[in-house]
Structure formats: C-alpha cells, structure tokens
Structure 1
C-alpha cells in the first residue's frame, strides 16, 4: 500500500521508536528486574526497524508516481506516462465564471488542501481546465482569480470532475438628474466585455436612493450601462473595470424624453431599424424624384455628381499625429431631437431634425461609383477593408458592443449630395474616468497659458482631455467649465456636436471629449464645392442648435471642427468640439477670446464690445471661406483691417476661384459684415442659404 508522503507524517513515523524506547525505560524503572528492561530494548529495536522500512516505502512510492512532486497526473522524466500509484485518482478541475458560465481562459491559481493529513498542493489551471492526481481522500479546492476566491469540496476517487465558479464583481449604479436628486423609477441594463453574457440583470436597491447593483463577470474589462426613465432621454455610460473589489458609477439624466427615444442597450438597434423602416417610403419617393430630376437635367449636370475631388487622400491634421485634437468629450447615447425647420426638399425626413444630411438613415450609400478614394474628404476607413467584419456590427448595440450606436443623419433632398452622406454619426457612450488615469497620461497635444490638452487611452478608446496647466487661472478655468458641463451635454446629442464624455470639477478637474480622425484643415481648399458647403452647413446646424440652448461657441476655427470617417465611400461626419472654455465670458479674456486673429471677429478684438450669436455667424462665414479656398478672407486680416469706421466688405471669393457659385459672394459678405446688425440674424438663416447653393451646385434637386 502506498503511504502518505506528507513530511509531518514521516516525522511521526520516525518518532515511533523513540517513543517506544522512552516507554520501555519508564517501565524498567517502575518494575525492578532485568526482564522489563530486555523487553523494552527488544521493542525499541523492532520499532526502529519497522519505522525505517515504512519511511523507505513512502519515498520509493512517491518518486515513482510523481517524480516532479507537482501533484499533477505525472509522467516519467523521459516524458513517458507513469502508472497511477495505489491510493490516488485523477480529478478534472473546471474553473468557470459565475455570471456567464463560461470557462475562465486566463491562468487561475488553485490550492488543494487535505485537512486530515495536512497535505497542501498548489497548481495553475490554464484555459479553464486541468486534470490533477490526488490521493483518494476528501479535498478542498480554492481557486483565486483577480482578487476573487471560490472553494469547492471534492471526494477524490468518487468525483471525477469538480467545477469551481469564480464569484462576480458588483457594479453599483446610482441614477440622478442634473441636480443630483435620485431617480428611483429609472431602469438600468448593462452589457459587459469581452462577452455579451458577462453582465447579469440589474437589481434595484431596496432603499429609495436609485442605486442598482449589477453582477459582472470576473473577466469583464468594461461595462456599458444603459439607463431609461419615462421623463428623460436615455443615457449610456462606459465604466472601466480596473482593480479588485466592487465598482461604482453615477449616471445623470439631463435631457427631457423625446418621441422615438431609443430604449436600453438591447433596444437601440431595434429602435433604429423601426425608424428606418417607417421612413423608407418617403426616402423611396425622394430617390425617385431625384432620379426624374437627374434625367431631366442630365446635360446641365456637369460635374455636379461626377467623380471625386482632386488631390491625395487624408492630408495634414491639426495635431502632430494627424488626428483631431479639438477637445475632449463623450458622445451622447440618444439620437438627435431635430429642429423645427420646414422641409427643404422632396427627400427631407418629415420628422425634421439635425444637420443637413441627417435623416432616416435607410438609404446610406457608398457614394458615386466614380468617386474614388482620391477625394481628400472621403477618408480611408480601414474597417471597411476588413473582409472579416460583420456588417451586422454596424447596427450598434445589437452587434459588437465595441461599436457605438449612431445618430441618424438627415438627407437634404439633393441626390448629388444625399448619395455621399453617411447614414449615421458616431455616438459613443460617456465614460467613467478616474482622475488618476488622466494624470498618468503624458502625451500633450496642445497647450496655452491656462490649459493643456492630453491624449488619454481608456481601454480601447482614445480621448482628448483638457486639464489645467498648474496655474491658479488654469484650475479655475477648467473647474468652472466642468461645473457647467451640463450646457455641453444639452447639445451633444446633435450629430455634428462632439460629445462630452466625462467631466470632473473637484480638486483635480478635467474635461474629456471624443477624438476625431482628423480636422477640416486636412480638406480645406481641396474638396468639391458641394462637399465644402455641406460641411459648412453641418457646422452651422450644430451652432444653431447650441444657440437655441443659450450656448455660444466663439472659437469656430478649423482645429475645433473634427472629421470622423464612418462609412467607406461616404463623406466624413463633421463634429464641432471646443464648447468648453470659449463660451464662458467670466473667465480670463485670453481664454474665451480666440488667440488666433485669423478666425476672430471685429468685436472680439475690441474688448469693450459685446459678443453674441452673431459672433458665431461671422466665424461661420470665415470658416466657409476657408473650406472653399483654403484661406481666410484677406489672408487673416479681415478682422484687423476692417473696423466700424472702415466697414468695407471682404473681397469677392469668386476672384480667388472663378468656378465657385456666384451667390457665395453675397452670402459670405453678409455673414462677415463688420457691424453685427448687418449679418445674418441666426446661424439657421446662414445654413439655409448654404444648403440652397450646395443643391444648385450639385446640378439637380
């Protein structure tokens, strides 16, 4: 019989003859005479011989059964399997996740303990399963993974398999309104990565504090929380699951609910499909009308819908690595609510809403067949070239959880433009960002006397985070804007407004915004006239939406207009960022007033003048001029060289490019009038004129 090889047990065996000798000596002292002494000596000799033999047998058996001493079903030193020793049996250990039920593929440390004989074995389980050789006794197996432990009992010899479930971590989600008052009637759902099954059902707290608890897989790296409430628009937030223990997140609902607002994580894709289906008849009518118009005006179409723009793809970007760095923020989780504009064409989505080009999303196309990737506006989206990509992933939450849901982009009713528009604008969820992660980032994209913009990597997402530069004014500037972050969140549901992803107004303030693929600097003066006008109209629509919420931008320079490539062959999505510092006129003047006079207005250079929405209208005119010809009016001297005393209009843009539409001279001169009263009264009015010219340039409506 194979004997136990535990060192303590061997010590006990060796102590047997010693104990026998002591006992014999004691008997000899108590009972006088030679007989007891001889008997004790004989017992001592026999006990010693038996003990030595037993220890020898133990060491011989263990060397043959497990030469490595690991406790795993062993093999001989030459790699050949050895026979299972007597008194042992194999047991299969499976380590699974308690939430998803799937095997934990990462290495897991398992400790086997036998309390009766005091044996302990420790080994690693790879890929979720391992078979070990243990003595046929009862054992306790404890698995440890990422700070969490689970123990299961197994009777080796009777049980062939034991399954150890790693317990979940807990995510506590508090739901509140913008005043931090709890919303106990909210509904919380959650999805986690790397697998859809990595999150359980949210359980509402018994007390009335609107806190829900979600069990999460031990392997989960990121969780996306979706919150619904009957009186508020739904919201989504990402939480990075770093470190051990439970996690906490707060989701604030700030916008009133709108008709057709998507539901939880799993309902977003379905809602989008329903919207697209409902709008399909109108879209079909618009396409037919466009086709009829194209046939009737084909000889006059000219270059309206032909080919791509000349020039190389891509182009220079605002930052050193070629990506937009205009700000940091989080995309909103709900679609654009739209605006109360009248329909502008037969193909206009009847529900109104959003920027030119926002619409039902049902008829997104790959663009003109003739339009190649030599168009600098049409970015090279590597995702479209991957043959392994699943087209269903673009559906948002119903596909890959890494793919953000989108806000629909409205069609303008112009075939020569609509065929180039992406169907949606990216709408990633907000994110819970720890200040320590921001402080650890050391890549500075841009900085000034008060603030710096840093590139921050959070999981698989890249953010641009605005932080103070260490000065008192810098801290006050960022803290004040973070305290008023709800003004940005009020408008970032628009498809052409960059989203504010996170904001912190405490001792370590910051503002985090989504990052674009590039800025409009990469396409200025290189794109077709219709493309440049559509991009300008998108920016104007975003600004008009902000004005209706009482927010002015006051720094509409090219670095604050991001471009995101979303669909192969389509135009990129323009998103306006930088809504944070410029709009707060109670901060230092060199913070809210543009530092570059090439995009400033006359009143911004006069510190006694008042800025309002017409200041943004002026900057929109300058930006449109820049997009069309690649330079600002008068080479940047438009605001410096023209004053109230000398209010001559800017030079005609058609003098710089004779192929530009003649109406652009009047539009840009009105937008950039020195006197605010002579400008367009609203950004909406400017946008309508830009869309009108873009439609005529495209050749048919």
Structure 2
C-alpha cells in the first residue's frame, strides 16, 4: 500500500527500498514526467515526534545542499505522515555494486568514486546551512555502502542525512551503523566532528578496494571492541594486488584518535589525488 500524499501529482510505481522506520517508493512526477524517489515514514510511526523532527531536519538540510554528488530534494510533503520527494537515481547502491558486480573495485574507478563521495562530504562539512548548529556545516554520521548510490555512468551519489549533526550542534544520541562508525560514536560522552565522517570514509575505501567489510565479528560486543581498539583487516591479506600506499591512506583515515586522522576531507582528497597522479601507481 502506497502512502497518501494528498496530491495527484505523483503516480506510484513500486517500492525500491526502506529500513526500520521508513520506506522508499519509485513514482512518476506527473507535472514533469520524470521519475522520483519518495521517502516516507512508516505509517506505524506517524505519532513519533522524534522521527518526524528528524525527517524535517533532513529535508531542511537537503534544501541547502546543492552538489553534483548529493541526491537532490524536490519537495517535502506533510500529509498522513512526512515524505521527502527526491531525484530518482537509476543505478544501484555501492553495497550491491561491490557484492553483485565488481567485488574489489578496480583502483582507477575506486579513486574516481571516492573522489565523488569525499567531495560531497567536504562540501556539506563546509556549507553554511541556516539551521541552529549547522551554520558551519553538516556531518553525515551514517556513511556506509548502502548510503551511496552508483549511477549507470559510474558516478557516486551520497544519500540519507537522516541522522546528521550540525558542526556546532550539541550531540544527541542517534542511531548509527556500528560496522562503519567511528570509535567516538560509541561513547555518548564524546563529541563528534568532521573527523568522525573521515573515519567512516576510510572504512568505505577499505571495502571498495577489498570487496569485503572492514571488520569481522560474531557479536555486537566483539564488533564494538574492534571498532574501539583494533585496526581494520590488512587489505593486502585479502587482496594482495593492493599497493601499500592505499593501506597507508586507510590507516590514516581510521586512526582511533581523531587528532591523528586527516583533519579535513580536503587533506584526504590531496592524498588520493597524489596517488591518482603517480606514474608508477597501478590503475
């Protein structure tokens, strides 16, 4: 059953995604004739004020983010729940791209996709958004393969600012994905900043190059311990063709102490650009 938007502008086609609190449906915007992706809160949660506020905040963030590698918001509708009408990206998630198509992503393509992703996060980190706490940018805080879309032309698009935090906003306890979170996200007493996203970007880079998740664990407790105290799996042990320079970049991005990581996405991009331009790098 599709949600009731109180408008005949959209013709629903089918469900294309969703999670614990929301669902994403493909629809046609009858005013433009173009496909759109409509993200809605499950009707069972329409009385959850916290979720509604999260959706409203996500909508306001998207309205101020205009970047070629961030999915665009077209409309925000409140009717029998809340709904975000986004550009539809024809493609697949990075998760499916790795698991079903490429396995380890070839290094040239991997560098191009990482540049897309990190450039988008860098833009959001430095964007002045007129929301309290977001004047100096937005942190994503849920970067993972299922929150990146890969288009048919192999361009990366970042989605889902649902649990984001403003750079100067007081921290609130919000859900995160343990496999891809930074150590400080597991400690409610610690503040989060741009370097938190940088840690997650390092984990994405690891998975893109190796074709497998950065940690293995049999329980949440074991996983939390590895996130807090252990390095990621050595990439060369998984995929021997990987240059040690890629491992060095991942290691710097995923230092347990934020002061030892890249301090900005710009620094991260500089090292990727250096690798890309090295004549003796295997691409």
TM-score > 0.5, shorter chain as reference: yes
- Per the TM alignment, residue 688 of structure 1 is displaced from its structure 2 partner at its CA by 1.6
Taking only aligned residues, the RMSD between alpha carbons, in angstroms, comes to: 3.2
- Corresponding residue for residue 219 of structure 1: none
- Per the TM alignment, residue 507 of structure 1 is displaced from its structure 2 partner at its CA by 6.1
- Corresponding residue for residue 641 of structure 1: 225
Q: What does residue range 583-662 of structure 1 map to in structure 2 within 5 Å?
A: 583-584=164-165, 589=173, 592-594=174-176, 596-635=177-216, 640-642=224-226, 647-662=229-244
- 2:37 match: secondary structure: strand
Counterparts of 2:77 and 2:280, CA distance in 1: 45
Counterparts of 2:53 and 2:234, CA distance in 1: 43
1:447 pairs with 2:13: no
- Per the TM alignment, residue 453 of structure 1 is displaced from its structure 2 partner at its CA by 2.0
Counterparts of 1:611 and 1:605, CA distance in 2: 11
Deviation track 1:376-399 (CA, whole Å, cap 9, x = no partner) reads xxxxxxxxxxxxxxxxxxxxxxxx
- Corresponding residue for residue 456 of structure 1: 27
- 1:463 match: secondary structure: strand
Match of 2:68 among 495, 511, 517: 495
- Give the 3 Å change call, closer, same or farther, for CA 490–598 of structure 1 in structure 2: same
- Per the TM alignment, residue 670 of structure 1 is displaced from its structure 2 partner at its CA by 1.4
Q: What does residue range 112-511 of structure 1 map to in structure 2 within 5 Å?
A: 435-437=6-8, 441=12, 443-459=14-30, 460-470=33-43, 471-472=45-46, 474=48, 476-482=50-56, 485-491=59-65, 493-505=66-78, 508-511=81-84
- 2:139 match: secondary structure: coil
- Per the TM alignment, residue 622 of structure 1 is displaced from its structure 2 partner at its CA by 0.6
- Corresponding residue for residue 678 of structure 1: 260
Kept in 1: contact 2:210–2:238 (CA 8 A): yes
- 2:278 match: secondary structure: helix
- Corresponding residue for residue 695 of structure 1: 277
- Per the TM alignment, residue 537 of structure 1 is displaced from its structure 2 partner at its CA by 1.8
- Give the 3 Å change call, closer, same or farther, for CA 587–510 of structure 1 in structure 2: farther
1:547 pairs with 2:118: no
Structure showing the higher helix proportion among its residues: 2
- 2:38 match: secondary structure: strand
Unaligned 5+ runs, structure 1: 1-433, 567-571
- Per the TM alignment, residue 686 of structure 1 is displaced from its structure 2 partner at its CA by 1.1
Q: What does residue range 49-68 of structure 1 map to in structure 2 within 5 Å?
A: none
Q: What does residue range 500-539 of structure 1 map to in structure 2 within 5 Å?
A: 500-505=73-78, 508-516=81-89, 517-524=91-98, 525-539=103-117
Deviation track 1:634-656 (CA, whole Å, cap 9, x = no partner) reads 23689623365xx3432321222
Counterparts of 1:608 and 1:473, CA distance in 2: 29
Kept in 2: contact 1:482–1:505 (CA 8 A): no
Aligned pair count?
257
TM-score normalised per structure 1: 0.34
- Per the TM alignment, residue 613 of structure 1 is displaced from its structure 2 partner at its CA by 1.3
- Per the TM alignment, residue 676 of structure 1 is displaced from its structure 2 partner at its CA by 1.9
Deviation track 1:152-202 (CA, whole Å, cap 9, x = no partner) reads xxxxxxxxxxxxxxxxxxxxxxxxxxxxxxxxxxxxxxxxxxxxxxxxxxx
TM-score normalised per structure 2: 0.77
Kept in 2: contact 1:468–1:474 (CA 8 A): no
- Per the TM alignment, residue 700 of structure 1 is displaced from its structure 2 partner at its CA by 9.5
Higher relative contact order (CA 8 A, sep 6+): 2
Unaligned 5+ runs, structure 2: 128-136
Kept in 2: contact 1:438–1:465 (CA 8 A): no
- 1:634 match: secondary structure: coil
After TM superposition, which residue ranges in structure 1, 4 or more long, deviate above 6 angstroms?
A: 585-588
- Per the TM alignment, residue 519 of structure 1 is displaced from its structure 2 partner at its CA by 1.8
Counterparts of 1:483 and 1:649, CA distance in 2: 34
- 2:23 match: secondary structure: strand
- Give the 3 Å change call, closer, same or farther, for CA 635–653 of structure 1 in structure 2: same
Match of 2:150 among 563, 570, 583: 563
- 2:39 match: secondary structure: strand
- Give the 3 Å change call, closer, same or farther, for CA 616–586 of structure 1 in structure 2: same
Kept in 2: contact 1:534–1:690 (CA 8 A): no
Q: Quick check: which has more Rg, 1 or 2?
A: 1
